Amino acid sequence: MNIGHKFIRGVAWMLAGGWTEQAINFVVFVTMAKILGPELYGLLSMAAVFIVLAEALVRESVSEYLIAAHDPVAEDYNATFWLTAGLGLALAVLLWLLSGPIAALYGQAEVAGLIRGLSVTVLMIAFTAVPVAILRREFNFRVLSLRAIAGVIVGGTVGVGMALAGYGVWSFVGQWIAMIATNVVMAWTAVAWRPGLVTTRAHLMRAGAFGAQVLGLRAAELAAAQLPTLIIGATLGPLATGLYSVSWRLVETLTFLISTPLRMVSQPAFAAVTREGGRAGDLLLDIARLTGVAAFPFFVGLAVVAEPVLRLVFGTEWLGAAPVLSVLAFLGLYFSIAMVQQSFCLAAGEAGEITVLTWANVALGAVLILLASRWGLVAITAAFVAAHYILWIFRYRLVARIGQMEVLPLITCNIVPALATAAMAVAVLGVQHLLAGAPLIVSVVVSILTGIVVFAALAVVLMRDRIGLLLSYARPAPQGGETA
């Protein structure tokens, strides 16, 4: 099986797992919300923000070293495991110590207990980071996908059961711990490796140095995601913050479903090509061309139908979020391509410069958002998105240098999908105008179907090379060797 075929299979498994996981999560969310009500969800949210931040710092940080390493030995795996475990333990202890002050800040004493109860998940995720890295390195995304689905099923069952039994807000804690515990068990049972104590200072230093850079990258990503909400809350108040938060949550979820499979699978694919002496840059260009075919129509289509979809799903009181969602959709497009570029850098062991660029995004975003704040919510959102696009050229230059390739092909490879998407958007807007007096559900469904048909027709005519590329990757390679 060639690497291209492994990539397509891995993405397919991650897409199936991600969408299934989110669907089950939604059912569990609605069920528990009806049982427990908004106040208890509010208590959970107060505690969860700190847990999620800590989990993000241990989930894919130090362990990324194992994917980038050319030929890791037992000492590398052991060093990475104990460094990640130490980081998880430190964060869990820090959460425990800060739980009281955080609860006092909120004025909700129960938040302290929730943070302490959930802090164990940070350590659990730290202990499973290396097995997950091994599964990714081996392209075993089937296990990772089934693991995610099993986790939400077990966690949801425990959470709903506890809610029905009267455990109140602690039902969320039970759900969360059960989900993570299931993930831990399935990851460890899928790999043969077990941690040992044998390592060296040199191995610890190499893994730690790379891990520190990735930690800086993850911290920058978290800062960038929270920056607009903080400034909007401080300058425009709760209504604008709510409109932005709903729009961001929608784009974040859709971006997760589209870009996370690409990011998770492309990184070990790039590393594998490099280990075999191939040109990872060629694979990057192929993935960029395939990504454009999916990302451009998906997110531009979201921008075009944002207003009727919000009106249909959330009601007219949320129409103020429509222009915000339309603008943020272009950030989803950016992430779909830029996250693959980031994976390319990490696979090459080049985490430092991409981390600096991400922090530059944070700094430029803060400046532009503050400058735009006088013009309102949509201007702030546009400034946030613009900061990413302004600095994007530097990411292109970085990956081109690492991949020893020209910048221009990377930038221009998606001109055809972009033009086809523009034609699709015009067609959808025309349909919306013609159906202005029709029932809302009819307008939304017909608009979406029109977009699909128009883009698919244009793809068949103008993008046969990309269809052929996808089929070549999806088709198993003939016996005799591994190729990119």
Residues 130 and 276 grouped into a single domain: no
Structural domain span for residue 30: 1-199
Least confident interval from 134-138, 238-242, 356-360 = 238-242
The per-residue pLDDT for 264 is: 84
Q: Residue 46 pLDDT > 80, yes or no?
A: no
The last residue of a domain, from among 136, 169, 199 = 199
Dist. CA 350–CA 281, nearest whole Å: 14
The last residue of a domain, from among 199, 229, 263 = 199
- Tens of pLDDT along 112-126? 999 999 999 999 999
The per-residue pLDDT for 15 is: 87
Give the residue, 19 or 122, on which the prediction is more confident: 122
The per-residue pLDDT for 483 is: 45
In a domain, 205, yes or no: no
> What is the token pair recorded at 340?
């693959």
CB half-sphere exposure, 94, CA atoms < 13 A: 13
In a domain, 208, yes or no: no
Amino acid code (one letter) for 292: G
Residues 399 and 351 grouped into a single domain: yes
Beta carbons of 407 and 442 less than 8 angstroms apart: no
Q: What percent of the chain has pLDDT over 70?
A: 98
The per-residue pLDDT for 477 is: 57
Residues 195 and 222 grouped into a single domain: no
Beta carbons of 451 and 298 less than 8 angstroms apart: no
Average pLDDT over residues 18-46: 81
Torsion of CA 423, 301, 316, 255, to 10 degrees: -160
The helix (run of H) or strand (run of E) holding residue 463 is none
Neighbours of 56 (CB within 10 A): 17
Residues 184 and 258 grouped into a single domain: no
Please compute Rg for the chain using Cα positions: 23
Distances (CA, A) of 419 to 227, 358, 450: 32, 29, 16
- Tens of pLDDT along 149-172? 999 999 999 999 999 999 888 998
The per-residue pLDDT for 424 is: 97
Q: Residue 38 pLDDT > 80, yes or no?
A: no
Average pLDDT over residues 67-90: 92
Residues 262 and 187 grouped into a single domain: no
Q: According to the per-residue pLDDT averaged within each range, which of 43-57, 104-118, 127-141 is highest? A: 127-141
Counts for the chain of helices (H) and strands (E), in that order = 18, 0
In a domain, 207, yes or no: no
Residues 368 and 274 grouped into a single domain: yes
In a domain, 111, yes or no: yes
Neighbours of 226 (CB within 10 A): 13
Closest CA to 147 of 192, 191, 186: 186
Q: Residue 387 pLDDT > 90, yes or no?
A: yes
Give the residue, 482 or 97, on which the prediction is more confident: 97
Average pLDDT over residues 100-105: 88
Following DSSP, what letter does each residue of 294-348 receive, concatenated?
HHHHHHHHHHHHHHHHHHHHT-GGGGGGHHHHHHHHHHHHHHHHHHHHHHHHHHT
In a domain, 210, yes or no: no
Q: Residue 411 pLDDT > 50, yes or no?
A: yes
Closest CA to 288 of 396, 147, 160: 396
Closest CA to 251 of 162, 166, 321: 321
Residues 180 and 284 grouped into a single domain: no
In a domain, 416, yes or no: yes
Residues 287 and 372 grouped into a single domain: yes
Residues 323 and 242 grouped into a single domain: yes
The alpha carbon of residue 348 and the mean position of all alpha carbons in its chain are separated, in whole angstroms, by: 20
- Tens of pLDDT along 195-242? 999 889 999 999 999 889 999 998 999 888 888 888 888 788 878 887
Residue 1 banded pLDDT, cuts 50, 70, 90 = low
The last residue of a domain, from among 150, 173, 199 = 199
Beta carbons of 7 and 136 less than 8 angstroms apart: no
Residues 32 and 128 grouped into a single domain: yes
Q: How many domains does the chain have?
A: 2
Residues 315 and 222 grouped into a single domain: yes
Following DSSP, what letter does each residue of 50-111 receive, concatenated?
HHHHHHHHHHTSTTHHHHH-SS--HHHHHHHHHHHHHHHHHHHHHHHHHHHHHHHHHT-THH
Residue 476 banded pLDDT, cuts 50, 70, 90 = low
Residue 462 banded pLDDT, cuts 50, 70, 90 = very high
Dist. CA 142–CA 150, nearest whole Å: 12
In a domain, 206, yes or no: no
In a domain, 80, yes or no: yes
Average pLDDT over the chain, rounded to an integer: 89
Residues 315 and 389 grouped into a single domain: yes
Dist. CA 213–CA 42, nearest whole Å: 34
